[in-house]
């Protein structure tokens, strides 16, 4: 079984909070970004790798590739799995990836979304997806950084 320390939904994917703060907190040695678009975009990958310390490996896989290879990971790999959307995370879970907990970090506001905290806005599809993940037994929390208290009960918003 893959050693997934935490799965985070953050539409910014890898940035300072992910590449340094969360990695240090979790003790991760691999950040795996699971997103179809970013898996093909070497420019975005290069920009994201700039904020990650050299001692931390990064991988940029499509959802399908993640489903197919994550269980082959070495037990030495301590994986911090990062998805762009809750829909990406649901596809992973439905594909058999053993995700027990999801941290919602950042989901930008846009038209049609309800802002439920300073960093998280949800539309109806997001709410439906999070409900489905919850029904599948995935614990869902919302925190920007590890030492922040969980202030928003996402379940009452979905």
Give the residue numbers annotated as catalytic, written as ranges.
Answer: 15
Q: Which helix (H) or strand (E) holds 44?
A: helix 42-49
CB 82 within 8 A of CB 5: no
Closest by Cα among 5, 8, 145, 141 to 83: 8
Measured in residues, the chain has a length of 158
Closest by Cα among 117, 108, 98 to 5: 98
């Amino acid at each position: 079984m893959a050693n997934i320390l935490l799965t985070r939904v953050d539409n910014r994917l890898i940035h300072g909070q992910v590449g340094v703060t969360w990695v240090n907190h979790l003790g991760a040695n691999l950040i795996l970004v699971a997103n179809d678009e970013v898996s093909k975009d070497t420019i975005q990958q290069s920009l994201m790798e700039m904020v990650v310390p050299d001692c931390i490996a990064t991988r940029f896989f499509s959802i399908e590739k993640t489903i197919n290879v994550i269980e082959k990971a070495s037990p030495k790999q301590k994986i911090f799995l990062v998805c762009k959307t809750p829909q990406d995370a649901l596809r992973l879970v439905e594909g058999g990836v053993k995700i027990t907990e999801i941290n919602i970090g950042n989901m930008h506001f846009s038209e049609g979304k309800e802002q439920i905290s300073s960093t998280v806005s949800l539309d109806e599809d997001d709410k439906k997806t999070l409900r489905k993940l919850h029904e599948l037994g995935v614990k869902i929390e919302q925190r920007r950084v590890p030492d922040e208290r969980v202030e928003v009960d996402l379940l009452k918003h979905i």
